[in-house]
Structure 1
Amino acid sequence: MPNFPAATQRARVRVPLRFHDGYSVDAELVTFHGLADGQEHVAVVLGDPEDEVPLVRLHSECLTGDVFGSARCDCGPQLREAVERIADRGGVLLYLRQEGRGIGLYNKLDAYALQDQGLDTYEANAALGLPEDARDYTAAAQMLTALGITSLNLLSNNPDKAEQLRTLGIDVHDRVPTGVFTTPHNVRYLRAKVLQTQHTLALGELADVTGLAELNAG
């Protein structure tokens, strides 16, 4: 049984999505009443589920990556990939207002400045007196339950997302990795996620651009 207060659906609206590369798909956006953190998270319902276990992604908002196309992270490409993969199989993308792993936009940009001085993404948060990852997925579990989803396949490289959902009573059948979206500007960030928080990214693929990243930094 879920061990959190129930949330309810507030409204549903059809929205055609269009991406910069020409990909388009129709989605249904769902808003909610009663979310534990009081944030305006949105569920993006895509496609028709092929079976009883939908594909779900918990995507944390990233203004710099999702909107401005920043190459310092992989958030924008992950969002684009997730929408198409979920639409093909049927499922939901939860767009969660958790900028900077929950520390907020201004703090994230402060952390970027420290990363420019040589700290990795987690060390920079610590230097600011902030947690490495401040995200709590109780609201995500509430949203899923309000949508009638208590069993899913999770599209994510992050084991903490699956562990938190399971603790909250959501049955995560499988954790499906995303693609690896490397640039010379984000390779150190991705390597830190692998080495410090056990994200399922292939270090060999990251090594392919490490040399170029070091050359650019020199």
Structure 2
Amino acid sequence: MNLEISKTANLPTEYGNLKIKSFKEGIKEHLVVFTDTLPTIPTVRIHSECLTGDVFKSKKCDCGEQLDYALKQISKDGGMVIYLRQEGRGIGLLNKVNAYHLQDFGHDTMKANELLGFKQDYRDYKIVDEILQHFNIEKINLMTNNPLKLNALEKTKIERRVPIVMNSCKYNYEYLEVKKEKMGHLL
């Protein structure tokens, strides 16, 4: 894999003083936010970009809440968030907004993607092993509810899964049900 890797920089945040590093894979630029000291087996969150949830705090999903929770946990316990640039389960922002439009008419997230001609998930996690190798990390505690992430790593051992429990609301209840019932998320 041909990667361009940035220098490490300081990132003072509301969660504490963290570090940041970017990994460029083709045209995609991924980000790693991490604590200055990493435990032998760090807690790692693999987070796929969700502009609507992460930045605008949309209640249609739980992405922003999961990111916030993960940043709080790694700041407290030591670890990292690997922020992958694969918006809308890999279909991109424009298509995600079109899927949102279909959801406004009663289609669930999977059906909306299908009506737009997409499968349920195009995300790829291969770069995660490369990122973890760069940091000389062989074992992690993976903060996830997504079974695809549990099976995605080939070079890194997952010691344990750390669940992320978020509250549902009237706007994301069906979304979370689809994740659980149709995508096998461990909720």
TM-score band w.r.t. shorter chain: over 0.9
* Pair 1:53 & 2:44 matched: no
* 8 Å contact from structure 2 (residues 42, 79) kept in 1: yes
Task: Provide the C-alpha distance between the structure 1 equivalents of 2:157 and 2:49, rounded to a whole number of angstroms.
Answer: 24
Q: Percent identity?
A: 41
Q: Show the counterpart of 1:163.
A: 151
How far off is 1:48 after superposition?
Answer: 3.1
Q: Show the counterpart of 2:20.
A: 29
How does 1:34-183 map onto structure 2 within 5 Å? 35=25, 37-46=26-35, 48-49=37-38, 51-165=39-153, 168-183=154-169
1:28 is matched by which residue type in structure 2? K
SS in structure 2 of the partner of residue 44 of structure 1: strand
Deviating beyond 6 angstroms after TM superposition, the runs of 4 or more aligned structure 1 residues are none
* 8 Å contact from structure 1 (residues 77, 181) kept in 2: no
How far off is 1:6 after superposition?
Answer: 6.7
Task: Provide the C-alpha distance between the structure 2 equivalents of 1:6 and 1:56, rounded to a whole number of angstroms.
Answer: 23
SS in structure 2 of the partner of residue 100 of structure 1: helix
Q: Deviations over 1:124-152 (max 9, x none)?
A: 11111112010000112211111111210
* 8 Å contact from structure 1 (residues 48, 89) kept in 2: no
Q: How many residues end up aligned between the 2 structures?
A: 187
Task: Provide the C-alpha distance between the structure 1 equivalents of 2:97 and 2:18, rounded to a whole number of angstroms.
Answer: 31
CA RMSD of aligned residues (A): 1.5
Q: Show the counterpart of 1:15.
A: 11
Q: Deviations over 1:86-117 (max 9, x none)?
A: 11111110011111011111101111111122
Task: Provide the C-alpha distance between the structure 2 equivalents of 1:87 and 1:105, rounded to a whole number of angstroms.
Answer: 29
CA distance change for structure 1 residues 132 and 155 in 2, over 3 Å: closer, same or farther? same
Task: Provide the C-alpha distance between the structure 2 equivalents of 1:157 and 1:101, rounded to a whole number of angstroms.
Answer: 15
Q: TM-score scaled by structure 2?
A: 0.94
* 8 Å contact from structure 2 (residues 145, 164) kept in 1: yes
Q: TM-score scaled by structure 1?
A: 0.81
Runs (5+) with no aligned partner, structure 2: none
How far off is 1:43 after superposition?
Answer: 0.5
Runs (5+) with no aligned partner, structure 1: 19-23, 202-218
SS in structure 1 of the partner of residue 28 of structure 2: coil
How far off is 1:47 after superposition?
Answer: 5.4
Task: Provide the C-alpha distance between the structure 2 equivalents of 1:39 and 1:78, rounded to a whole number of angstroms.
Answer: 22
